Amino acid sequence: MRIMGLDFGSKTVGVAISDELGLTAQGKEIVRRERESKLRQTCARIEELIVEYGVERIVMGLPKNMDGSEGERVEKTKEFQEMLERRTGLEVVLWDERLTTVAADRYMSEAGIRGAKRKELVDEIAAVFILQGYLDSIANKA
């Protein structure tokens, strides 16, 4: 079963997909939009990737504040979650994404990725960290 990981941002969505065994997450792409409210094309691209990879579940980062409280981004994420569930018919699991962007930045720094390339990749790498955290939690439960 393949699982899709999403890092939902105000103008981008980082996308990662698991291998067929659900062991590892690989970054696939970043879906970009001009305005935060323009979600139709974003949903359409995610639906295309679901079909292409045979995705059966989606895991999306939940951007809680460091103290665990929920702000405006959490509200928008939950709205997007509901939209995706309606459009795709798939379960969309919310996964605590605190520190995934920090981890993605650290990873890129260690890999020697600099400047504009770094900004370009951060959402996709964050999606990988979100999905891998979820996959690891499933493996630990088994």
2-8 vs 25-32, strand pairing mode: unpaired
Q: CATH number of the domain at 83, please.
A: 3.30.420.140
Q: What is the mean pLDDT of residues 10-30?
A: 95
DSSP string across 53-92: HTEEEEEEEE---TTS---HHHHHHHHHHHHHHHHH---E
- The whole-model pTM stands at 0.90
Assigned token pair, 136: 């690891």
Domain holding 112, by residue range, is 2-35+42-141
Q: How many domains does the chain have?
A: 1
**Residue 25 to residue 1: CA distance in whole angstroms:** 12
Percent of the chain at pLDDT exceeding 70: 99
Backbone angles phi, psi at 75, to 5 degrees: -60, -45
| Helical spans, DSSP H, in the chain | 40-53, 72-88, 100-110, 115-141
17 and 5 Cβ atoms separated by less than 8 Å: yes
Q: What is the mean pLDDT of residues 50-62?
A: 97
The candidate with the shortest Cα–Cα distance to 12, out of 41, 38, 35, 32, is: 32
pLDDT at 79 over 90: yes
pLDDT at 105 over 80: no
Q: What contacts 31, CB < 8 A, 6 or more positions away? A: 12, 13, 15, 42, 45, 46
When mean pLDDT is compared across 13-17, 66-70, 85-89, the lowest value belongs to 66-70
